[in-house]
């Protein structure tokens, strides 16, 4: 079966497909992270899609993927003034924040 697919598609395309699926897989990392579901999903949506409920308005989190690691680390640690986004510096461990940052960075 694999040989047949390889003959039809060529190795390069298989690699491309594998990369594509790899990238899609990583999209789910953030929303599969229990920390995200517990601490963030309430405002950012269970699929990081953003939310507009009463006082809470958030844009889809993939829009934040373009921000640098440092910016994201700062936002998650310190929050954004005058918004409902509060800092999680004292509430998350030293590993949890960088994990969230790298999971946001790979959102598409």
Q: Which residues bind ligand HEC (CB under 6 A)?
A: 39-40, 42-44, 56, 58-59, 63-64, 72, 75-76, 80, 83-85, 88, 100, 104
Q: What share of the chain is helix, strand, coil (3-state, %, to 5)?
A: 60, 5, 35
Q: Which of 95, 97, 47 is nearest to 87 (CA)?
A: 97
Least Cβ distance, residue 55 to ligand HEC (angstroms): 9
Nearer to ligand HEC, 11 or 93 (CB): 93
Q: Which residue matches tokens 């999971």?
A: 103
Least Cβ distance, residue 44 to ligand HEC (angstroms): 6
């Amino acid at each position: 079966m694999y040989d047949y697919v390889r003959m039809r598609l060529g190795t390069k395309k298989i690699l491309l497909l594998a990369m594509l699926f790899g990238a899609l897989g990583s999209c789910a990392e953030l929303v599969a992270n229990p920390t995200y579901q517990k601490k963030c999903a309430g405002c950012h949506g269970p699929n990081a899609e953003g939310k507009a409920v009463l006082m809470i308005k958030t844009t889809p989190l993939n829009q934040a993927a373009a921000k640098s690691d440092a910016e994201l680390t700062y936002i998650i640690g310190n929050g954004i003034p005058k918004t409902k986004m509060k800092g999680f510096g004292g509430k998350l461990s030293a590993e949890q924040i960088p994990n969230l940052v790298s999971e946001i960075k790979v959102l598409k």
